[in-house]
Amino acid sequence: MKQTHHGGRRRQALRPARQGGIANILIALLVGLGLTATVAGTAAYIHGSQERSMTSHGQIQAQMKAWTGAEVVRQYLAQMQTAGTLAQLAVAVANAPPATGLSLDLAGVTGIKAYLTAVDSVTLPTVFTAKITGTTAAATRAESNSVLEVVFSAAGSSKVVAPLTFIRNLKLGGAITVQKPAGSTTPVVINVRGDISTSGNLITGVDVLNATGSINIDSGSTFSQLNSNCDVVLSGSVTAVSVNALRNICMSANAATSGTAVANGSILALSDYSRNGTLSALANPNPVATCLASGAGGTGSTASTCMPPLIAGVDLSAANAGAKVVNTSGSVTLSQGTIGEINAKGNLTVSGNGSVNTGKVGGTLSKPGYNANVHVTTTPGFAPTLTAAALVTLPTNQFNAYAVRSLANYAFSFDAAGYPKVVVQNVNGIANGTYYLGDYSSNQRDYLCSAIVAGSPPSAPKCMGAASGGKQICQGYSPYNSCFANGSGAWVIATSFGILPGIAWFEGNLTLSVGKFYNTFIATGNIDTSASTVVYAPNYAGYSGTAGGVTYAPTGICVNSYFPGVYPTQFCNIATTSYDPNAASGIGNYAFLAGSWSGASYAGTGSYVGGNVTIGASSIIRGSIKAGNEFASSGAATISGGVTALAQGTVVNNSLSASTTFELAQLPSTFDISGGSVGGGAPSAPASIKWARYL
């Protein structure tokens, strides 16, 4: 018992010892685990700190990349400003996929991606929006990204670089052809502050039409882009890659848009699936204050607006009408045609056996029970993201012939008694001064002389002295024919060899009846040509008529075979055989400039004198044209240069009719189609960042 009891006591006595050993082991284990956890925690903390440090460092580097990208894009926009191609860039941005925007190729720059996502105007852009991503340690655990949205101010100068600009409605008729250099990617643009309308004509070589009013084309022409602040109405077989309208787009017959059509209002399309690309309608045409620009008038050139389509959205209810993609904030109707993909906030109504390959609508789906070709998902509340059509904005400027009189080599006017006089300056071989324009004898016509015979009438003034004391200003068909038929404040010139080369300024109206001329003609009134008139602007003819092995004119301004030794000194440096195209503020780029007002400032259309330029049959004009009011051409006219009509006077009717060809395929290096500093305005401010934010 004792033993047993002793043994029991021993067991009882041993228990604490055993428990203490186990406790010691447990404590050791816990301590070990604690130390392990501490070490692991410390290691994790250190590793986390390192990763956080690396992440923070990587994020900073990515942000630096993004801001570097912002500066690269700013410099790119500045280059576009200098080149005068911001409008072309704006067109590319407007045509880019809405989901991504226009990707910029940042050659030589790694870790940066940049996209231009929006622009405020396709014609006179001032604000570009970009999304820029900076990336460091790409495709590694340390990769970091920083995304910036940057808004840039990048307004172009007021210089209009488009070949054709009309600040009033334009009527296009006959065959309009623009020939541009082979391989040139620079779009040929017609800008109209008002409406553009056509009448069964064919337009070739014109890429872009911009109108602050409506565009109505019923020819078989093809364009890359049509932009309107009102409606675009296409019929016949007209096609365009891109169409943008602040109100509605109506395309009848086979007219179609192969790329994108964006209407802030609605779209009606009659052509089938194969002809239409993406049709996007916001179904909300407001705000459109008016479809006719202020000052636009003249029923002969007023473009029609289209009736609102049957629904607010996209109307494809006619026959086999369809499109590859339809996006709208409104509804869609379809009959027998096909829609590749549809994204609509409103309803889809299919009246026949039409088909939809895929898509989503936020409203209802209505279709015949037998039609199993419509594959869409109805998702209440669904609304696609759409980008509105951009506003067409056109700059305006003014022209007053009196403001440039001081640039003329020859200024023609009538004195108080009606005698024709010429003020000459900067002409080699003729002293600066004021001369009468008269005759010495029956076969010595059109001389500049210092005095006239008393009693000789203003209609036939006789010069005093001998012809050797004067200088003949032109050469007629024969010694017995005068070049000038003057009177009643008007000037008419008919000559086989033109007048002395240089800048010729006329007070009153000017008609060039026939002849070859090497001049810039400026008139305070109107300018007309007829009967195979040929005019070479000074900057087009250049020094000798030939440059770089190419002959642009039969003779030149400085070396002129018809009037040897007589040349305008501001353009010509005979000692160095060089020509200065920037002389006289670049006015030598123009063949014609017309229109004026008296007084210190322009006082409105009622006060404007002349300003209409009319190019007659078979005339060839090598130079740009600026009409202070309106412009018209007809009868196989050829123009190498730009045309601007400023609408400063009363309404006549801007028109290109019969056959008008713009030969721009090869232009001399001395010639600036935009008109130089006389053709433009003040230079723009450098491109800059307005604001930015992280996304």
One DSSP character per residue, 130-174 reads EEEEEEESTTSTT-EEEEEEEEEE-PPPS---SSEEESS-EEE-S
Q: Looking at the structure, tell me whether residues 486 and 350 fall in a common domain.
A: no
In a domain, 6, yes or no: no
In a domain, 174, yes or no: no
**How does pLDDT run across 645-677, given as a tens digit for each residue?**
999 999 887 888 878 999 999 999 999 987 766
Total domains in the chain come to 3
Q: Looking at the structure, tell me whether residues 415 and 326 fall in a common domain.
A: no
How far is 266 from 389, CA to CA, in rounded Å? Answer: 12
369 against 3, higher pLDDT:
369
Supply the DSSP string of 73-87, one letter for each residue: HHHHHHHHHHHT-HH
Instruction: Give yes or no for a contact between 348 and 356, defined as CB atoms under 8 angstroms apart.
Output: yes
pLDDT band per the 50, 70, 90 thresholds, residue 262: very high
Lowest-confidence region among 57-61, 319-323, 351-355: 57-61
Q: Looking at the structure, tell me whether residues 350 and 494 fall in a common domain.
A: no
State both tokens at 464.
């005093």
- Domain boundary among the residues 156, 181, 201 is at 156
In a domain, 309, yes or no: yes
pLDDT band per the 50, 70, 90 thresholds, residue 187: confident
In a domain, 173, yes or no: no
Range of the domain at 600: 401-664
101 against 15, higher pLDDT:
101
What average pLDDT does the chain have?
Answer: 85
Q: Looking at the structure, tell me whether residues 371 and 414 fall in a common domain.
A: no
Q: Looking at the structure, tell me whether residues 142 and 286 fall in a common domain.
A: no
In a domain, 259, yes or no: yes
Q: Looking at the structure, tell me whether residues 413 and 360 fall in a common domain.
A: no
Q: Looking at the structure, tell me whether residues 345 and 429 fall in a common domain.
A: no
- Domain boundary among the residues 134, 156, 178 is at 156
In a domain, 126, yes or no: yes
**How does pLDDT run across 505-561, given as a tens digit for each residue?**
999 999 998 889 999 999 999 999 987 899 999 999 999 999 999 999 999 999 999
pLDDT at 83: 62
In a domain, 595, yes or no: yes
Token pair 């001395």 is found at 670
Distances (CA, A) of 305 to 137, 168, 246, 308: 56, 17, 12, 9
pLDDT at 68: 80
**How does pLDDT run across 141-177, given as a tens digit for each residue?**
778 888 989 988 887 654 434 578 898 889 888 888 9
Candidates 614, 626, 537, 535; CA nearest to 579 is 537
Q: Looking at the structure, tell me whether residues 374 and 406 fall in a common domain.
A: no
Lowest-confidence region among 3-17, 113-127, 226-240, 455-469: 3-17
587 against 11, higher pLDDT:
587
Mean pLDDT of the 13-19 span: 38
Q: Looking at the structure, tell me whether residues 332 and 470 fall in a common domain.
A: no
- What is the pTM for the complete model shown? 0.79
Q: Which helix (H) or strand (E) holds 435?
A: strand 433-438
221 against 360, higher pLDDT:
360
Q: Looking at the structure, tell me whether residues 525 and 603 fall in a common domain.
A: yes
Of 220-224, 463-467, 502-506, which has the strongest mean pLDDT?
A: 502-506
How far is 134 from 65, CA to CA, in rounded Å? Answer: 5
How far is 434 from 595, CA to CA, in rounded Å? Answer: 23
- Domain boundary among the residues 378, 412, 447 is at 378
How far is 67 from 122, CA to CA, in rounded Å? Answer: 26
pLDDT band per the 50, 70, 90 thresholds, residue 57: low
pLDDT at 384: 95
DSSP E strand stretches across 199-266: 202-204, 208-211, 215-217, 222-228, 232-234, 239-245, 249-251, 256-263
In a domain, 681, yes or no: no
State yes or no: pLDDT of 451 exceeds 90: yes
Q: Looking at the structure, tell me whether residues 640 and 506 fall in a common domain.
A: yes
How far is 15 from 20, CA to CA, in rounded Å? Answer: 8
State yes or no: pLDDT of 227 exceeds 80: yes
Q: Looking at the structure, tell me whether residues 585 and 470 fall in a common domain.
A: yes
